[in-house]
Chain A
């Protein structure tokens, strides 16, 4: 680390006075100027962030203000709010937005309801051995391809499929099938953050509450849940945003329904109308921004 350690290396000890100024003016400059050192260090990751996130979002916004010339299918780069006007005027976009929001909320509620007891068992009840096995069991589905899982659900929910055998009957392809499939697929993303935040709840708190005579329901409500909020919020953000953007599941098990992602896909792919696709893509982004701002206000993000 120090200058002497470098100088003691063979072949480098000839004449420090001569070598110094020639070999390392850069080092000395950077050593003196903390600001320069820091900016050089951070510029690459920052540039990357800027390119991948900020520039992409800005490009999306700008594109949504353009239009497409129907004859040449070239993009017309003059400013217009036509795309957003279409979104507002046309009833179908409202219906699809509400449908997408409904599915996302349903998936999130179901996932949180399933994840809470599983995570609690994993973190507080199970022996370390069982806990390790459960963590592996929760993570394993993430190794399987998303498409394989969705197609499996398609087979399960089909006529005469596994769901029919159980006696409950299959809901058939439609929104219910989408909610079931998405809830299954995003479940690990909800269990893990809740599990992580449960692990941080000290056992001593639970024991103290028990010693003071609190029934288990009260312990859960007044001690565990408040400490869990950040984990639940993190998991809910995952499942909500992932469902908002999905378009493959609804294509495979959603019957004749479409969600926002499908509208983006058909406009970007089939219609070659990138500006309208960009405008539609702004809807989930705006929804997520509003949601995150609201959550931030409650302070739930502070402890993430």
Chain B
């Protein structure tokens, strides 16, 4: 009895001490950030930590059949730990922690990482498989800054227009299907849209083609007047929207049951819909899209294994597996030959430069206009988010 009491008291005292020390243990300094590219790869560290979209780093724990991490570990002796994220903003906060060596970033994240000195320049000579990558994916504005490469391309895909053929006399060829009042009227309450402020760019892209007097050059560089016009268009669209989606399983179900009949989508979603009436198209106006880059953290503790990973995931075998699993275009013609579905690259228009040129890859809107205008201040992502809240109402 006595002993228990004494133990309890000791435990209580320990807990008190613990909570006090937890309070005072906050803080810690910034490590030195290395932003310059390295000259050569040193000895591998035996481990690497990766931050990526779900489905990019599969080690067989989700599906024993899907595993391209184990071969890498065997080949290089670098043990992989990985974390997946849901939005680019979440990834930005995680990357800043410095816990991750390699980060798979979309275009709306990569430049933020460079600007905040979280990314390290890449010496592409140390990534032999970089050579295979389609040329139009190299040295782009979302992976290269001031002539320095800050990442190697992974794959890309477009935000397409999906529709149910039963609700359209003729298959739609324009985003007017979700923005034009007369066309919206027919599908009132069954229109869907992507639930993110970045969707404002879709409206801006439509205005860019239909209202030239607004002078929109780049859907991610909108001044206040152009943003207002896009917001007005989306507020009009809101009256016809049945629901917004960000969870792709939700959109699959809505199109299968017919709760949604027209709206923006990803190819991987279309591939998962069994309803034969549902089809997708790349509208004549082009589309917004995502293009992912493997980046190296400026706080990387395992840069050598990180380089090994970047080279490995760019290799035709691994890239084919990863992009096919996720449902996007691979980054090289060699990878296209390795896909299990021989038509995969055809489905996703891999290497089709003409197709890719119609795509506006996601960027983060910033005050300094991305289209090079200097006479006006553009609206930034915080303003877009505020606008998005208002649009949904």
CA distance A28 to B22 in the complex (A): 30
* Contact A72/B116 with A95-B393, A266-B389, A270-B196 known, Cβ cut-off 8 Å: yes
Which chain B residues in 318-372 approach chain A with CB under 8 Å?
Answer: 366-367
Contact call B257/A254, Cβ cutoff below 8 A: no
- Any chain A CB within 8 A of the CB of B266? no
A169 contacts B by Cβ under 8 Å: no
Of the 9-residue stretches B11-19, B99-107, B170-178, which lies at the interface with chain A? Answer: B11-19
Q: Does A43 contact B (CB under 8 A)?
A: yes
Q: Is the CB of A70 within 8 A of B380?
A: yes
B90's closest neighbor in chain A, by CB?
Answer: A269
B393, A159: Cβ atoms closer than 8 Å: no
Interface string of A233-277 (1 = CB under 8 A from B): 000000000000000000110111110000100110111110000
Q: CA A41 – CA B5 in complex, angstroms?
A: 11
A-binding segment of B67-75, B138-146, B235-243? B235-243
Q: Are A47 and B90 in contact (CB under 8 A)?
A: no
Q: Is the CB of B12 within 8 A of A43?
A: yes
A299 at the interface (CB under 8 A from B): no
A14 at the interface (CB under 8 A from B): no
Chain A residues with Cβ below 8 Å from B20 are 47
A48 at the A/B interface (Cβ < 8 Å)?
yes
Residues of A within 8 A of B246 (CB): 251
A128 within 8 A of B: no
Indicate whether A173 reaches chain B with its CB closer than 8 angstroms: yes
Most A CB within 10 A of own CB, among B2, B242, B243, B250? B243
Does A282 reach chain B (CB closer than 8 Å)?
no
**Given A51-B23, A256-B392, A270 contacting B241 (CB threshold 8 A):** no
Q: Do A90 and B390 have beta carbons less than 8 Å apart?
A: yes
Interface: B54 (CB within 8 A): no
Interface size on A, as a range, is 35 or more
Q: Are B242 and A173 in contact (CB under 8 A)?
A: yes
Q: Within 8 Å of chain B (Cβ to Cβ): is A161?
A: yes
B-chain residues with CB within 8 Å of residue A41 when the two chains form the complex: 9, 12
Is B53 on the interface with A (CB-CB < 8 A)? no
> A291 contacts the other chain (Cβ, under 8 Å)?
no
Q: Is the interface of B mostly helix, strand, loop or mixed?
A: helix
Closest to A68 in B: B382
Residues of chain A within 8 A of B19, CB atoms compared = 44, 47-48, 51
Interface assignment of B309: CB less than 8 Å from any CB of chain A: no
Q: Which residue of A lies closest to B19 (CB)?
A: A47
Instruction: Please give, as numbers and ranges, the residues of chain B lying within 8 Å of A272 by CB-CB distance.
Output: 89, 92-93, 382
Q: Are A256 and B241 in contact (CB under 8 A)?
A: yes
Interface pair B89/A270, CB less than 8 Å apart? yes
With A270-B196, A271-B385 as given contacts, are A160 and B1 in contact (CB-CB < 8 Å)?
Answer: no
Complex contact B87–A269 (CB within 8 A): yes
B258 interface residue, CB < 8 Å from A?
A: yes
Q: Which residues of B contact A133 (CB under 8 A)?
A: none
- Measured between beta carbons, the chain B residues less than 8 angstroms from A251 are 246-247
Task: Let me know if A40 and B12 touch, CB within 8 A.
Answer: yes
The residue that A255 contacts in the complex, of B13, B22, B116, B243, with Cβ under 8 A, is: B243
Q: Which residues of A contact B134 (CB under 8 A)?
A: none
Give 1 or 0 for each of B161-180: 1 = CB within 8 Å of chain A CB: 00000000000000000000
Is B84 in contact with chain A by the CB < 8 A criterion? no
- Of A1, A43, A255, A272, most buried by chain B (CB within 10 Å of CB) is A272
Of the residues B238, B258, B385, contact of A270 by C-beta under 8 Å: B385
In angstroms, Cα B392 to Cα A263, docked, is 10
Determine which of A44, A154, A155, A159 lies in contact with B16 in the assembled complex, contact meaning CB atoms within 8 Å.
Answer: A44
Q: How far is the CB of B196 from chain A (nearest CB, A)?
A: 6
- A205 CB-CB contact with B under 8 Å: no
User: Please, how many angstroms separate the alpha-carbon atoms of A27 and B94 in the complex?
Assistant: 48
Query: Which of the residues B112, B250, B381 comes within 8 Å of A271, measured between beta carbons?
Result: B381
In contact, B90 and A44 (Cβ under 8 angstroms): no
A173 lies within 8 A of B259 (CB): yes
Q: Which of B12, B22, B23, B92 contacts A44 (CB 8 A)?
A: B12
User: Is B55's CB within 8 Å of the partner chain A?
Assistant: no
A17 within 8 A of B: no
Known contacts A160-B258, A266-B389; A271 and B23 CB within 8 A of each other: no
> When the two chains form their complex, are residues A154 and B253 in contact, meaning their CB atoms are under 8 A apart?
yes
A34 at the binding interface (Cβ < 8 Å): no
User: Chain B contacts of A43 at CB under 8 A?
Assistant: 12, 16
A272 → chain B closest CB, angstroms: 5
Q: Which residues of A contact B238 (CB under 8 A)?
A: 256
> A172-B242, A256-B243, A266-B385 given as contacts; is B15 within 8 A of A47 (CB)?
yes
- Knowing A158-B257, A256-B238, the reply to whether A273 touches B385 (Cβ < 8 A) is yes
Residue on A with the closest CB to B238?
A256
Find the residue from A90, A252, A256 having the highest chain B CB count within 10 A.
A256
Judge whether A18 is part of the interface by a CB distance below 8 angstroms.
no
Q: Chain B residue with minimal CB distance to A93?
A: B389
Q: How far is the CA of A95 from the CA of B11 in the complex (A)?
A: 50
Q: Are B250's CB and A252's CB within 8 A?
A: yes
Shortest C-beta distance, B19 to chain A (Å), equals: 4
Distance to closest chain B CB from A275 (angstroms) = 11
Chosen A-B contacts, 14 in total, with CB atoms closer than 8 Å, are A30-B9, A43-B16, A48-B15, A70-B367, A70-B382, A73-B112, A73-B116, A92-B393, A258-B392, A263-B389, A266-B388, A269-B86, A269-B87, A273-B385
Q: Residues on A close to B: CB < 8 A?
A: 1, 6, 27, 30, 40-41, 43-44, 47-48, 51, 68, 70-73, 86, 90, 92, 95-96, 154-155, 158-161, 172-173, 251-252, 254-258, 263, 266-267, 269-273
Known: A40-B13, A95-B393, A271-B89. 16 other contacts (CB 8 A): A6-B2, A40-B9, A40-B16, A47-B15, A47-B20, A72-B116, A73-B112, A154-B253, A158-B259, A159-B257, A159-B258, A256-B243, A269-B86, A269-B90, A270-B196, A271-B385
